[in-house]
Amino acid sequence: MPRGRVREFDVELALDRALDVFWRHGYEGTSIVDLTQAMGISAPSLYAAFGNKRKLFERAADRYTELLRRETDHALDCPSLRESVRQLLTSLATANTSDTWPAGCFNIQAAMTCGDSDRDVVDLLSPRRLAVYELLVPRFERAAADGELPDGAAVATLARFVATVASGIAVQAASGVPREDLQRMVEVAVCAIPAGSPESP
């Protein structure tokens, strides 16, 4: 029985390269030629492995989410809420100013470059931009239950505040703000979290 043709490229590496191209040029500004040249594969190989440009973009967005979770998940395990927030925002400030990827956040930058004809791409990215908030809500709920927040603290609002700071860090990083300045924003955000009893470190 004949065997199928063996795929001759590293899928994760190809996705990383596609992610970089979409990040720099946006969905609409990226052509199949741009992608095949960056990924080091032919157009037939791209279509065979990923379907089409739209499906490849979705896979690249999934890859970004995976990489982002690697950067942020460990922060939520810190015993102190304030230390969790500090580590989370610090990891994002570091990632958004990394030499490995373009500055800023893929989910924000890619959406900003979409035209009216690509609203489905915007719709794809919109819930992904809520990922940090959705990670923070249970962490703030746990902190409230442990007495790290004042009685009756608006847990969802506080989580939204930190998520907004995270988005702001990404936008500032894309504008060229240096990492040291972003880290100062992190410390201001940490200090803004109200302390319950016992007081958070």
In this predicted model, what pLDDT tens digit does every residue of 42-100 receive, in sequence order? 999 999 999 999 999 999 999 988 888 877 788 888 889 999 999 999 999 998 898 88
Q: What is the rounded distance in angstroms from the CA atom of residue 120 to the CA atom of residue 144?
A: 38
Domains of the chain: 11-191 (1.10.357.10)
Q: What is the per-residue pLDDT across 92-130, written as a single tens digit (0 to 9) for each?
A: 999 889 888 888 888 877 766 666 556 777 778 877 878
Q: How far apart are CA 199 and CA 201, in angstroms?
A: 6
Residue with tokens 């990923």: 50
- For residue 113, which phi and psi values (nearest 5 degrees)? -95, 5
What distances in angstroms separate CA 57 from CA 20, 50, 52, 54, 118, one per listed residue?
A: 11, 9, 9, 5, 12
How many of the other CB atoms lie within 10 Å of CB of 112?
13
Its pTM stands at: 0.81
